[in-house]
Amino acid sequence: MSTAKPEPIQLFNTLTRSVEPFVPKMPGTVGLYSCGPTVYSYAHIGNMRSYIFADVLRRTLEFFGYKVNHVMNITDVGHLTDDADAGEDKLELGSKREGIDAWAVARKYTDAFFAHAALLGIKLPTVVCKATDYIPEQIAMVKALEDKGFTYLTEDGVYFDTSKFPTYADLGRLDIEGLQSGHRVDTRHKKNKTDFALWKFSKPEEHRCMEWDSPWGRGFPGWHIECSAMSMKFLGEQFDIHTGGVDHIPIHHSNEIAQSEAATGKSPFVRWWMHGEFLVIDDSSKMSKSSGHVLTAQALADAGYYPLAFRLLALQCHYRKQLKFSYESLAGAQRGYERLSHLTQRAVSEAGGMGHRATVLGAAAQGHLRAFHAALAQDLGTPQAVAELYSLLEDPAVTPAERISLVDTMDQVLGLDLFTPIPVPEVNAIPAELTTLLAERNKARAEKDWARADQLRREIDERGFEICDSPQGTTLKKRL
């Protein structure tokens, strides 16, 4: 919170597909809404990349002098396994999988989400709201849409008629005619391919944990309505910025705009739509929970990586570019993070302690700070901002006292917690019991007891380690 008058910033707007000077509705204040996690399973690092992006956006706006009201929802009901209103409710699915009720599933994974977010230096939003806490607001919005003639009833629920909202295709630049009916499946209940459920009826055979009475019958809200109802509750009928992943553009966010603007009669619902790109693993496929690849921030920590090294990796790739994740790139970020930490600690000790930071900056230090601001002001240029941090820490023209001062300032946005000394990491630390198992397995092999050797290999595998046989001998490696 540096100056009274906020600094100008340019941000990419998905509505116009261009970088534009950002102008909030109320000078100096920003209403920011982020689509939050569906808490039926752990959020993987691909999901977390999206929240790092929203966090950096919020921190940058605050750094530039705006007051930010950051609202994030928790989807704890209504998100179906298929975006086209078919399939099972993910929370009910989690309940069957884990043998606990859907409320317990939601609590477990909400707690895990915030624990992982904290590991990654993500600030808690100003408001966190759970869909199940705002059912009356969602019913009221569906009712308003019904009164205005935007809905129709089927045996499955209440649906939004997108043919009555002529600008439906605008955000996603959708070719409605060309949409494959196979992509938005299950048109049984729908008049148009792009119509979506606002309220779904419980089926008697489902035995749902989560269901509510409504004017149309017992059931639960569709996934999309919660974001409109809760964002309006906390930020008003029209607000400044809405974030999410690029996968939200064609369906979830198109639906949010349609139902919000239809309900209020006001346009635009949101002035800036901002979307983070995917994290992709080697084979260029999107990381998803269904691929069996649930790599979490906690898993990185357990394998000896600093979660903040992953944050650094994310910052070094612009949010609108795909982040190609590999263990090599993570190891590179780990080394980079160690270097930043080391250089910061050196500056602190050379300056004679944290209390000795510079209050006035010389020309060289000022130059670095200006470049840092300029990078962020251009649609959150975090790769250049990070480069500026490295550069000043290695610039002999910047004194240790100035370095401390600049790291302190820049870390308000980067969130790398650089003043906390890092412990020596133990990548691939092998627990003693596993060393014993490995020795037993090698003995079994030497005795040609293949069944026993196989059994021991499986036990090692179940504990998350793999055996590497090489001419130098046998070693264990922690699997990620």
Residue ranges that bind Zn ion, judged by CB under 5 A:
35, 227
Asked whether the beta carbons of 375 and 452 are under 8 A apart, the reply is no
What angle, rounded to 10 degrees, do the helices at 450-462 and 432-446 form? 160
Burial class of residue 304 (count of CB atoms within 10 Å of its CB; 0-12, 13-18, 19+): middle
Which residues neighbour 11 within 8 Å (Cβ) at sequence distance 6 or greater? Answer: 19, 20, 22, 241, 272, 274, 379, 380
For residues 265 and 258, what is the distance between their CA atoms, to the nearest angstrom?
10
> Could you give the angle at the alpha carbon of 432 between the alpha carbons of 430 and 433, nearest 5°?
110
Long-range contacts for 354-357 (Cβ within 8 Å, ≥24 apart)? 354/404, 354/419, 356/400, 356/401, 356/404, 357/401, 357/402, 357/404, 357/405, 357/408
For residues 456 and 454, what is the distance between their CA atoms, to the nearest angstrom?
5
Q: Which of 35/313 has CB closer to Zn ion?
A: 35
Q: Which of 227/377 has CB closer to Zn ion?
A: 227
Q: Which of 185/249 has CB closer to Zn ion?
A: 249
Q: Which of 227/398 has CB closer to Zn ion?
A: 227
The 8-class DSSP code of residue 216 comes to T
What angle, rounded to 10 degrees, do the helices at 400-414 and 327-351 form? 140
Residue with tokens 């869909």: 131
Residue 164 CB, shortest distance to Zn ion, in Å, is: 22
Q: Which of 251/299 has CB closer to Zn ion?
A: 251
Residue 36 CB, shortest distance to Zn ion, in Å, is: 7
Cis peptide before 400 (omega within 30 of 0): no
Q: Which of 9/227 has CB closer to Zn ion?
A: 227
Residue 276 CB, shortest distance to Zn ion, in Å, is: 13
Q: Which of 252/357 has CB closer to Zn ion?
A: 252
Residue 259 CB, shortest distance to Zn ion, in Å, is: 12
Residue 226 CB, shortest distance to Zn ion, in Å, is: 7
Q: Which of 249/364 has CB closer to Zn ion?
A: 249
Q: Which of 39/438 has CB closer to Zn ion?
A: 39
Q: Which of 117/444 has CB closer to Zn ion?
A: 117
Residue 243 CB, shortest distance to Zn ion, in Å, is: 9
Asked whether the beta carbons of 22 and 9 are under 8 A apart, the reply is yes
Residue 42 CB, shortest distance to Zn ion, in Å, is: 19
What is the enclosing helix (H) or strand (E) of 71?
strand 67-74
Residue with tokens 């009164």: 147
Residue 227 CB, shortest distance to Zn ion, in Å, is: 3
**Where does 413-472 show beta strands of DSSP type E?**
465-470
Residue 184 CB, shortest distance to Zn ion, in Å, is: 18
Q: Which of 32/392 has CB closer to Zn ion?
A: 32
For 357, list phi and psi in degrees, rounded to 5. -80, 150
Asked whether the beta carbons of 241 and 69 are under 8 A apart, the reply is no
HSE-CB of 12 using CA atoms within 13 angstroms? 16
Residue 470 CB, shortest distance to Zn ion, in Å, is: 49
Count CB-CB contacts under 10 A for residue 247: 17
For residues 21 and 12, what is the distance between their CA atoms, to the nearest angstrom?
9
Residue 322 CB, shortest distance to Zn ion, in Å, is: 21
Residue 223 CB, shortest distance to Zn ion, in Å, is: 8
For residues 454 and 467, what is the distance between their CA atoms, to the nearest angstrom?
11
Q: Which of 33/42 has CB closer to Zn ion?
A: 33
Q: Which of 73/399 has CB closer to Zn ion?
A: 73
Residue 129 CB, shortest distance to Zn ion, in Å, is: 11
Dihedral (C-alpha) 435, 440, 441, 447: value to the nearest 10 degrees? 150
